[in-house]
Amino acid sequence: AQKITQTQPGMFVQEKEAVTLDCTYDTSDQSYGLFWYKQPSSGEMIFLIYQGSYDEQNATEGRYSLNFQKARKSANLVISASQLGDSAMYFCAMREGLNTGTASKLTFGTGTRLQVTL
Amino acid sequence: DSGVTQTPKHLITATGQRVTLRCSPRSGDLSVYWYQQSLDQGLQFLIHYYNGEERAKGNILERFSAQQFPDLHSELNLSSLELGDSALYFCASSPRPTGYTQYFGPGTRLTVL
């Protein structure tokens, strides 16, 4: 089974509108972290936001918020007031086993390409 | 700018050759991770070093090897290159092995002809 599933290959949003990018995950660990990264056409991977499995509140970073629904194993990224510069690939990722001393890798989804239009 | 540096930015080489990719982590970060991003495999974890010691291996081919030096910079060595090794190779760093965000470098784009 896929550890991270991003079902939207591509999304369009109008400038200044909000958009939600979906991410579901699969893990049996109790302690894990969920991340979102942005990859513009230039190629770099930019960290956006982090949510720990024990965090009670949804994470927010400026215009980014993470809608964390633990029971549904979903960690959707919400971008408010979209800007043209938000056009990019967005990757959801997970680190498992955070409390075991063995957490290491990030497991990534396949990404969602977001296009912001005028 | 994440603070992670990678050189070179682009590398073009031929099949059968060997290349070395270099990564300097953010100041103070002890962990270095290597990832490969290709069209068919997506983003794949290769290997993790913490303070000079190998901590975890992912889908890293035997033709690939890595090390982390006392000054904490890391090198990824790719040998006997094949066309399928063409990819974007990322280095990431974090202050500790677990529980912290990984910050990515700009990547090295490797093209094998």
A54: chain B residues, CB-CB within 8 Å: none
Residue B92, strand partner residues: B33, B104
pLDDT at B41: 87
A97: chain B residues, CB-CB within 8 Å: 98
Q: Is the pLDDT of residue B99 over 70?
A: no
For B84, the 3-state DSSP assignment is helix
pLDDT at B103: 95
Residue A96 amino acid letter: E
- Residue-wise pLDDT for B2-48, tens only, equals 899 999 999 999 999 999 999 999 999 999 999 999 988 899 999 99
- Banded model confidence at residue A70, pLDDT cuts 50, 70, 90: very high
Q: Do A47 and B104 touch (CB under 8 A)?
A: yes
- Residue-wise pLDDT for A3-28, tens only, equals 999 999 999 999 999 999 999 999 99
Cα A73 to Cα A2, A53, A95, A118: the distances in Å are 13, 10, 14, 33
The count of other CB atoms within 10 Å of the CB of residue B7 is 13
Q: Is the pLDDT of residue A56 over 70?
A: yes
Nearest to A2 by CA among A18, A21, A23, A26: A26
Report the mean per-residue pLDDT for chain B: 94
Q: Is the pLDDT of residue A1 over 80?
A: no
What are the residues of chain B with a beta carbon less than 8 Å away from any beta carbon of chain A? 2, 33, 35, 42-43, 45, 48, 55-56, 58, 88, 90, 92, 97-99, 101-107, 109
Residue B78, strand partner residues: B19, B64
What are residue A84's phi and psi, to 5 degrees? -55, -35
Cα A5 to Cα A62, A88, B88, B103: the distances in Å are 25, 18, 22, 22
Six token digits for residue A33: 């972290």
- Residue-wise pLDDT for B56-95, tens only, equals 999 899 999 999 999 999 999 999 999 999 999 999 999 8
Q: Which of A38, A42, A44 to mutate to test the interface with B (most CBs of B within 10 A)?
A: A44
pLDDT at A117: 97
d(CA A66, CA A92) in angstroms, rounded, equals 11
Q: Which of B31, B43, B53, B59 to mutate to test the interface with A (most CBs of A within 10 A)?
A: B43
Q: Count Cα neighbours of A88 within 13 Å in the Cβ-side half-sphere.
A: 21
| Bond from prior residue into B8 cis (ω within 30 degrees of 0) | yes
